[in-house]
Structure 1
Amino acid sequence: MDQPPLVVHLTHALSFGGLESLLVERINRMPAGAYRHAVICLTRSNPDFARKIRREGVQIVELHKPAGLALSTHAALYRALRRLRPTVLHAYNLAAVEYGPVALLAGVPVRVHGSHGRDAADPHGLNPKHNALRRAMVPFYDCCYANSGAMLDWLRATIKVSDEKSCLLSNGIDADRFRAKDGPDEEGAPIVIGTVGRVEQVKNHAALLDAFLLLRERQPQLRERLRLAIIGDGPVLNQLRARAADAGVADAVWLPGTRTDVADILRTFRVFAMSSIAEGTPGAALEAMATALPVVGTRVGGIPEVIEDGVTGTLVPPSDPAALAAALEPFVLDAAHAARVGTAGRERVLRKYSMGAMVAAYQSLYDTLCERKTPLRKPAKSCVE
């Protein structure tokens, strides 16, 4: 009874990705006296990524859910929740939304669901079956939040979540870890266009590769210096490698898979690119901005909320390699221009997207709901008090 309440984070997997990275940051940074944490993966966890959790005593449970409908996973989750006895279930994205009733049956008093993005099969959240499931699950959650204004508007208009039951919780960034490089590039150094994130269809890296090929054609004098770096793992990584090889640019396109030194790699970029067809608040773009990189991104989801068009980067239509190439070109041609725009991006991150503010907002949500539903719970001070 003297222990802090337990929050169970329910996610599809615990592996390298923007959602998962910020989940780990909240676990590590939330005051130890406020909440304990555990993670339940519907599928599996990546041991290398799991080691990023520095907080002691965080249990990780894997349910090994098979693809498709798996009623046995509901039973496995029920048993896990009955054993762990959490005060809060925090479920993430569509993959975990259906488990609200299980948490209720298991006696979890506070249930929270977060919308952090969508997949390539339904980038705009129009799938009627998925949305019917989301609407059916709303009564089982005490709060349904979004990490971007566009996603919050969709929750309220399409999923019919009331204003009282929904809120915006923006992403945060560690501006100490992600910092600008020291000094300008050396004369004749490679000009790297880069991106970081899961290599999956929703990120549309194929369009970024096509834009890179167009840029090489538009600027033949820079062809030997131009490089493209796509950092991350995912289901279409091998397809992307094959596509680069078929285009004859395998030596100019770096696709290393997962890396643990992303902060250092970002400092080798000239410009950061996001070619997604759907996004929540893009943590990768915030990391790039904190590194003082200009960001060229598609005008989808939460990207326009992060990138101030013409000030901290450039916005382009999705699935338009020509527009993407044209937007990247000024930064490729002028390092000083890229540095000025990148500096404006870092200043924006410092003003609006601090890691402390993000952690405090999540803790405040937990505190409010726990106080309402478990009145004997005395909220701990938040990390900004």
Structure 2
Amino acid sequence: MADGRFTVTNVHDLRPLVAHVLYRFDVGGLENGVVNLINHMPSDTYRHVVIALTEITDFRRRIGRDDVQFFALKKAPGHSIWIYPQLFRLFRELRPEIVHSRNLAALEVAVPAWAAGVPVRIHGEHGRDVGDLDGSNRKYQWLRRCYRPFVTHYIALSRDLEQYLTSRVGMPPARVTQIYNGVDTRRFYPAETRQPIAGCPFSDPMGCLIGTVGRMQAVKNQTALAEAFIRVLKAFPQLESRLRLVMIGNGPLRAQAQALLEQAGVAELAWLPGERDDVPEILRGLDGFVLPSLAEGVSNTILEAMASGLPVIATNVGGNGELVESGRTGELVEPADVDAMAQKIAAYAIDPQRAKAAGSAGRAVVERRFSIEAMTQGYQDVYDRLLKSRSRMPGRNAWVHP
């Protein structure tokens, strides 16, 4: 887009168009789910555009199809009604059959989509942020109720989020579909032996590398993992020669975690390289994965770690308990319980065979329940069903292509 004008292509393509709307298109679990959906949905079924209310970064290169357009609207923070005319014009020019928004920050696009005559308006709930860790924020519930008349259907990534929509927000169950994230098991797979990580200073094959991957923001709470690592070394000094910490990602908590490690005198036993684009290889270089989040929807990184054959220690928030079978594929601890996290890390470091067995069980669960094919088919079924039902309603026909 340049000077407020849009360049729209493929207007004569008869495949229904899905407009995926996000607040920002950058590295993250939500965004990765959109990438996986677009890359794996059969190209002869739907075509796609990605609309970011703010920015689109180089993350767009993760989409492998060459028929996907991208639009960044440069929206200012907060609810900005001034963006409605811009979205209205874009939807009128693109003529999508479906607008699919994600999370509360993008929910407002349902209004201009409705005004522009988009036949199907889907909203996805992918997780919670630091302002609503347990879903009790009444303002956020009220906002979702306000936009309800403009949304055709909702998709919840976990049973926890499905219950939130139906019980706390009051959505009719018939208007909510629960679909788990899927993971690409061909891209994320176990290594027979732990693989060296490019640039990582820890290469001892007898060592134990625990790690995490994700944006280092308050809701992800990576400082709790740094504190747990410090406590493990104090409580189990015999592990100091073997146990190492790897924390991948950028954000404000990176400096805080580094400072905690330095103050404890163990910074040389941890590696915090920032953002990386070789996550599958990094996971194959770990012995265990830890997710210390304060809130989650359905974590892509947990699924990727499980697919990579890693035991997972995660906080019991959001959909984490729907992914990790405590005592079998990993362990669950209460959020911010640093001592419990430290104990679980130590247990796996002391008993590598137990850790390996949990990782193998996790891989089997992913193959059985969380395949990317099942996720893609779930979304396609919803798209197909809603378009079919809308086309039968007077005045609700899909766009007629010239």
TM-score after normalising by structure 1: 0.94
How far is the alpha carbon of 1:125 from its aligned partner? 1.5
How far is the alpha carbon of 1:71 from its aligned partner? 2.2
Deviation string for 1:140-190 (max 9, x for gaps)? 111112100111111100111111100101110111111111236897533
- Relative to structure 1, the CA distance from residue 79 to residue 234 in structure 2 (aligned partners, 3 Å threshold; closer, same or farther) is farther
2:39 to 14, 28, 50: 28
User: Could you tell me which residue of structure 2 aligns to residue 42 of structure 1?
Assistant: 53
Asked whether the equivalents of residues 138 and 144 of structure 1 are also in contact (C-alpha less than 8 Å), the reply is: no
User: Could you tell me which residue of structure 1 aligns to residue 388 of structure 2?
Assistant: 371
Q: How far apart are the structure 2 equivalents of 1:184 and 1:4? A: 44
User: Could you tell me which residue of structure 2 aligns to residue 106 of structure 1?
Assistant: 116
User: Could you tell me which residue of structure 1 aligns to residue 367 of structure 2?
Assistant: 350
User: Could you tell me which residue of structure 1 aligns to residue 3 of structure 2?
Assistant: none
User: Could you tell me which residue of structure 1 aligns to residue 19 of structure 2?
Assistant: 8
Aligned length in residues: 376
Q: How far apart are the structure 1 equivalents of 2:83 and 2:20? A: 16
User: Could you tell me which residue of structure 2 aligns to residue 336 of structure 1?
Assistant: 353
TM-score after normalising by structure 2: 0.90
Q: How far apart are the structure 2 equivalents of 1:267 and 1:302? A: 24
Deviation string for 1:209-230 (max 9, x for gaps)? 1111001112212213321112
Letter in 1 for 2:158: S
Deviation string for 1:84-139 (max 9, x for gaps)? 11110000001011221111011111000000001012111122211111111122
Deviation string for 1:189-237 (max 9, x for gaps)? 3311111112111111111111110011122122133211121223433
User: Could you tell me which residue of structure 1 aligns to residue 300 of structure 2?
Assistant: 283
- Relative to structure 1, the CA distance from residue 197 to residue 213 in structure 2 (aligned partners, 3 Å threshold; closer, same or farther) is same
Q: How far apart are the structure 1 equivalents of 2:16 and 2:52? A: 20
Asked whether the equivalents of residues 7 and 88 of structure 1 are also in contact (C-alpha less than 8 Å), the reply is: yes
Q: How far apart are the structure 2 equivalents of 1:67 and 1:43? A: 9
Check if 1:54 corresponds to 2:64: yes
Asked whether the equivalents of residues 188 and 225 of structure 1 are also in contact (C-alpha less than 8 Å), the reply is: no
1:266 to 274, 283, 293: 283
Q: How far apart are the structure 1 equivalents of 2:333 and 2:181? A: 22
CA RMSD across the alignment:
1.6
State the identity %.
41
How far is the alpha carbon of 1:74 from its aligned partner? 2.3
Q: How far apart are the structure 1 equivalents of 2:76 and 2:255? A: 23
User: Could you tell me which residue of structure 1 aligns to residue 170 of structure 2?
Assistant: 160
Per the alignment, in what secondary structure is the counterpart of residue 71 of structure 1? coil
- Relative to structure 1, the CA distance from residue 76 to residue 249 in structure 2 (aligned partners, 3 Å threshold; closer, same or farther) is farther
Q: How far apart are the structure 2 equivalents of 1:223 and 1:85? A: 60
Per the alignment, in what secondary structure is the counterpart of residue 195 of structure 1? strand
User: Could you tell me which residue of structure 2 aligns to residue 132 of structure 1?
Assistant: 142
Q: How far apart are the structure 1 equivalents of 2:205 and 2:237? A: 15
How far is the alpha carbon of 1:70 from its aligned partner? 2.1
351-360 or 126-135: which moved more?
126-135
Deviation string for 1:242-289 (max 9, x for gaps)? 333333333222222221110010011111111111111111111111
243-252 or 310-319: which moved more?
243-252
Letter in 2 for 1:25: N
- Relative to structure 1, the CA distance from residue 184 to residue 54 in structure 2 (aligned partners, 3 Å threshold; closer, same or farther) is closer
Q: How far apart are the structure 2 equivalents of 1:199 and 1:105? A: 38
Q: After superposition, where does 1:1-385 map in structure 2 within 5 Å?
A: 2-47=13-58, 49-183=59-193, 189-375=206-392
Structure 1: any 5+ residue segments left out of the alignment? 378-385
Deviation string for 1:306-352 (max 9, x for gaps)? 00111101111111100101111111112111111110110111110
